[in-house]
Amino acid sequence: MNIKSQKDFFSGLMFMAVGIAFAWGASGYTIGNGARMGPGYFPLVLGVLLAVLGAVITFKALVVETVDGDKIGSFAWKPLVFIIAANLVFGAALGGLPSIGLPPMGLIVGIFALTFIASNAGEEFNFKEVTILAIILAILSYAAFILLLKLQFPVWPTFIKS
């Protein structure tokens, strides 16, 4: 049997897996009955429904002909990894990671880290340009979020402040 629509086939599988996972999780809570619903009732029904929908989508993807096979295409790993990583490093810099003993480094360090990492996701990486961009973003963010909106952020690394 050929997969007629790759996108639908895999999204159907995804829905099935997630639906089953939720239904299985829900079965661990009290289900109850219609008049007295337990915490597991609604998620169980929805999980089963999602799994059924997923099965239908997968089935259709095997049967219904499409023009070009609805290929998923290659994953853009580079932007995916760098954008998500930039975000995570920013979080670690801002709040610190006690589990590995990283102290909070504050907003400014976070902005530089984020800009440098995120810029790798693009097609070209020009060190000078990225540095200038990071400086501009740091100044603007400081002015907008700290001075103007007065958000409570650690701005500088804790060891400098103390």
Partner 1 sequence: MELFDNLALGFGVAFTLQNLMYAFVGCLLGTLIGVLPGIGPLATIAMLLPATYALPPVAALIMLAGIYYGAQYGGSTTAILVNLPGESSSVVTVIDGYQMARNGRAGPALAAAGMGSFFAGCVGTLILAAFAAPLTELAFKFGPAEYFSLMILGLIGAVVLASGSLIKAVAMIVLGLLLGMVGTDVNSGVARFSFDVAELTDGIGFIVIAMGVFGYGEIISNLSKHESEREVFTATVSGLMPTKEDFKNMIPAVLRGTALGSLLGILPGGGAVMAAFAAYTLEKKTKLRPGEVPFGKGNIRGVAAPEAANNAGAQTSFIPLLTLGIPPNAVMALMVGAMTIHNIQPGPQVMTSNPELFWGLIASMWIGNLMLVILNLPLIGIWIKLLSVPYRWLFPSIVLFCAIGVYSTNNTTFDIWMVGIFGFIGYIFIKLGAEPAPLLLGFILGPMMEEYLRRALLLSRGDWTVFVTRPLSASLLAASAVLLAIVLMPSVKAKREEAFVED
Site for partner 1 in 131-160 (CB under 8 A): 133, 137, 141, 145, 149-153
Burial, 19: exposed, middle or buried (Cβ in 10 Å; 0-12, 13-18, 19+)? buried
Fill in the amino acid letter for 66.
T
Query: What is residue 32's three-state secondary structure?
Result: strand
Q: Which two tokens stand for residue 68?
A: 């070009």
**Which 43-62 positions form the footprint of partner 1 (CB under 8 A)?**
43, 46-47, 49-50, 53-54, 56-57, 60
Beta carbon of residue 158, minimum distance to partner 1 (angstroms, whole number): 14
**103 binding partner 1? (CB under 8 A):** no
> Total number of residues binding partner 1 (CB under 8 A)?
71
**Which 75-94 positions form the footprint of partner 1 (CB under 8 A)?**
75-76, 79-80, 83-84, 86-88, 90-92, 94
What are the CA-CA distances from residue 82 to residues 88, 107, 115 (Å)? 10, 19, 10
